[in-house]
Amino acid sequence: MPQFLDTSADDFEMGFAALLGAKREDSPDVDAIVADIIADVRARGDAAVLELTAKFDHLELAADQLAFSRDEIDAAIAEVGEADRAALELAAERIWSYHKRQMPSDESWTDSAGATLGWRWTAVSAAGLYVPGGLATYPSSVLMNAIPAKVAGVQRLAITVPTPNGKINPLVLLAARIAGVDEIYRIGGAQAIAALAYGTKSIVPVDKITGPGNAFVAAAKRRVFGKVGIDMIAGPSEILVIADKDNNPDWIALDLLSQAEHDETAQSILITDDAEFGRAVAAAVEKQLETLERSAIAGPSWRDYGAVITVTDMDQAAALSNRIAPEHLELCVADPEALSLKTVHAGAIFLGQYTPEAIGDYVGGPNHVLPTARSARFSSGLSVLDFLKRTTLSHMTPAALRAIGPAAETLAISESLQAHGLSVRARLDALND
């Protein structure tokens, strides 16, 4: 049974706080192992990567087999059926169109002091994308990570994907081909992150690493952060659905289950202003669970972390939503636009009953890599900006320096930074001669 909460009950605040605070992370402490793996790859390069791949992925490779060849990729993607290919291409096209609009502009202006100021955006030179192997290998994630990098203008985009026993999902290779990925390496785990960050003889290092992974990958990303940039460390998936009674309970139940089926620690929450509708959705979830392929995952997720919360009105729903700061937020209400203006802490909002969250996972256009674990309070989903950096620009004329230089000198002296002050003063004196 999921939790049933009602804001008009006396013990609501206690129950809601417990829901917010529920410890869902299940990451074993693998930091010491990961530190050793990274040190080994730094010290021995390819040799270490090859040994670790043989050990963990049961795959014996030579250094010149680390990367998939063009022929290997061609052969694998030839296996993909037409429907899958067309679906991936539609998804790629829509993701590309959405992300193209995220490209920020450079600015330059001259102010009243005569100073020319501005900034310029440039792309990270090389990025690495980690793709999990095994069951959780999602071609859609390849598109979601690779396309923003390519839109940003990243010149060199490398993928690492473990291929246990040599097996690879051809859709992953096709997604990489469609997205314009330049290199694909058949390695995984902390050793792949170390190779991307520090480089080996066969793998040129990158500047930024993104993409999901298991506890080893997450720990390795934390460790190489600083040497390279990383995206977020994602936690279990979450959905919050805010729905009034004018919805089909079956649809809402499926939306809740589409997060629950990801992971036993995923969290699905319904907020409604109609208690009876809430019970109808909970009943529909139970019914679906009877036949759902992944009910062994979705069931525990729903029972352990799911919740149905009854509120008195939608303003209350918005306030609770902001405390939850959900990764995914569906607004199945009469005026979803109006409500969306109040739900300000959310990774992605899906408006109206014809926008199931699954649309956003694949073909909507926005990114599906989104902030989890309440981090939507302070962070955003993956975007083109993650593969760009901004350089600020300042250009003083002699007149501009005369206008604002003395204030800089004053502040430098107040901070006891004499050389700072002198570097301004020397120029001012020359101008005054």
Query: Which of the residues are catalytic?
Result: 327-328
Q: Which residue has the tokens 């981090």?
A: 375
Q: Compute how many other C-beta atoms are within 10 angstroms of the C-beta atom of residue 44.
A: 13
DSSP codes joined into one string, 261-316: TT-TT-EEEEEES-HHHHHHHHHHHHHHHTT-TTHHHHHHHHHHH-EEEE-SSHHH
Could you tell me the maximum CA-CA distance found in the chain, to the nearest angstrom? Answer: 88
Q: CB-side exposure of 343: number of CA atoms within 13 Å?
A: 30
Residue of 122, 283, 287, 315 interacting with its own copies (CB under 8 A): 122
The answer to whether 54 contacts its own copies (rule: CB under 8 A) is no
The sign of the torsion formed by the CA atoms of 325, 242, 328, 345 equals negative
Residue 293 binds its own copies, judged by CB under 8 A? yes
Whether residue 293 is annotated as binding a ligand: the answer is: no
345 among the known binding-site residues? no
Piece of the chain touching its own copies by CB under 8 A; list 52-60, 181-189, 249-257, 275-283: 249-257
CB within 8 Å of 15: residues ≥ 6 apart: 3, 5, 9
432 annotated binding-site participant: no
* Residue 198 is labelled as binding a ligand: no
Residue 32 makes contact with its own copies by CB under 8 A: no
Contact call for residue 393 and its own copies (CB under 8 A): yes
Question: Least distance to its own copies from the beta carbon of 21, Å?
Answer: 12
Asked if 355 and 330 touch (Cβ cutoff 8 Å), the reply is yes
Note the Cα 58 to chain centre separation in Å: 30
- Near its own copies in 414-433, by CB under 8 A: 414-424, 426-427, 430
Q: Is residue 362 a contact residue for its own copies (CB under 8 A)?
A: yes
Chain positions 126 to 145 lying near its own copies, rule: CB under 8 A, are 135, 138-140
Q: Which of 258, 265, 272, 321 binds its own copies (CB under 8 A)?
A: 258
Binding of its own copies by 365 (CB under 8 A): yes
Does residue 43 belong to the site contacting its own copies (CB under 8 A)?
no
Judged by beta carbon, residue 71 or residue 432, the one nearer its own copies is 432
HEC-encoded secondary structure of 194-237: HHHHHCCCCCCCCCEEECCCCHHHHHHHHHHECCEEECCCCCCC
Nearer CB in complex with its own copies: 278/360 = 360
What angle, 0 to 180 degrees and rounded to 10, lies between the N-to-C axes of helices 295-305 and 249-260? 100
Cβ neighbours of 246 (radius 10 Å): 11
207 is in an annotated binding site: no
Classified as helix, coil or strand, 12 is helix
Q: Does 24 bind its own copies (CB under 8 A)?
A: no
Told to check if 78 binds its own copies by CB under 8 A, we report: no
Q: Is residue 361 annotated as involved in ligand binding? A: yes
Rounded alpha-carbon distances, angstroms, from residue 34 to 59, 118, 215, 216, 225: 20, 42, 10, 6, 14
Name which of 247, 256, 216 is nearest 233 in CA terms.
216
d(CA 186, CA 173): 11
Sign of CA dihedral 83, 85, 88, 90: negative
Q: How far is the CB of 266 from its own copies (least distance, A)?
A: 11
Smallest CA-to-CA distance from 199 within 62, 387, 68, 38 is with 38
When asked if residue 292 is in the footprint of its own copies (CB under 8 A), the reply is yes
Using the rule CB under 8 A, give the single segment among 50-58, 194-202, 312-320, 390-398 that binds its own copies.
390-398
138 is in an annotated binding site: no
Q: Which is nearer to its own copies, 85 or 279 (CB)?
A: 85
Smallest gap from Cβ 54 to its own copies, in A, equals 28
Of residues 97, 110, 155, 312, which one binds its own copies by CB under 8 A?
Answer: 97
Work out whether 86 is an interface residue with its own copies (CB under 8 A): yes
Q: Which residues in 322-351 contact its own copies (CB under 8 A)? A: 336-337, 340, 344-351
Please list every residue from 370 through 389 that binds its own copies, using CB under 8 A. Answer: 371, 373, 375-381, 383, 385, 389
**Residue 420 annotated in ligand binding:** yes
Binding residues for substrate: 237, 259, 262, 328, 361, 415, 420
Which residue positions form the known binding site? Answer: 130, 191, 214, 237, 259, 262, 328, 361, 415, 420
Which residue positions form the known binding site for NAD(+)? 130, 191, 214
